[in-house]
Amino acid sequence: MLQLLIGNKNYSSWSLRSWLLLRVLDIPFEEIRLSFNDPDFRLQVLQYSPAGKVPVLIDHGQAVWDTLAIAEYLAEHFPDAGVWPEDPQARALARCLCAEMHSGFGALRTAMPMNVEASLPGLGMTEAVQRDIDRLVAAWTDCRSRFGDAGPFLCGTFGAVDAFFAPVALRLTSHAVALPAAAQAYVDSLLALPALQQWCEEACREDDFVAADEPYRTPDRRLRTAS
């Protein structure tokens, strides 16, 4: 059976992408969850992947690391699972958006890190973050209007491109970012996925505060800026 090495569900947005893709596409796997707080975290990951980061997919001893490579590996090994859309134009756009998410949206990712259990309205909003959000809204609206007829996701049915944006949906929600109706509807479709709800429930149960991931909060969860 496939195995997937992941980090803390509360914080690990990259882990969520591969985990959600596997779960929603119904590809069986065993989850191996590590903690960023474990002093041996890096050593443990290095036993599987020379890159030392999660997620790592392990298929009979073969390690596949990095979310884009994992998506492509799954597409190759499970060609009927729906990792990419069947329509070539939709497929090209889905790949572009995954790549754009993978290498971009730096302001949003830095200022609004994923933190499932937190409620952080207003925290992190800057002009650069708003530009990233505007780009997200434009990309989602374009994709939904061109290819979204068959369902509530970017290219209709759920695929890798939606898994890549799922952590963004959680960031926008925990930071209470106001979105145009169409973008909010897409976020709501992601949040309604039972698999994403399961991830969030498990994230909330972790209770494993990682200081490096929460420079704005104290270990008792209070905002550092709060009086």
Ligand X SMILES: N[C@@H](CCC(=O)N[C@@H](CS)C(=O)NCC(=O)O)C(=O)O
User: Which residues from 28-47 bind ligand X, rule CB under 6 A?
Assistant: 42
User: Does position 14 bind ligand X by CB under 6 A?
Assistant: yes
Of 16 and 129, which has the nearer Cβ to ligand X? 16
Q: Provide the minimum distance between the beta carbon of 11 and ligand X in the complex, in angstroms, as a whole number.
A: 7
Q: Cβ distance 44 to 38 under 8 Å?
A: yes
Q: Cβ distance 20 to 199 under 8 Å?
A: yes
User: Does position 13 bind ligand X by CB under 6 A?
Assistant: yes
Of 52 and 152, which has the nearer Cβ to ligand X? 52
Q: Provide the minimum distance between the beta carbon of 191 and ligand X in the complex, in angstroms, as a whole number.
A: 20
Three-class SS string for 108-153?
A: HHHHCCCCCCCCCCCCCCCHHHHHHHHHHHHHHHHHHHHHCCCCCE
Q: Cβ distance 170 to 126 under 8 Å?
A: no
> Rounded to 5 degrees, what are φ and ψ at 223?
-65, 135
User: Does position 131 bind ligand X by CB under 6 A?
Assistant: no
Among 67, 173, 174, 189, binds ligand X (CB under 6 A): 67
In the complex, the residues that contact ligand X under the rule CB under 6 A are: 7, 12-15, 42, 52-55, 66-67, 102
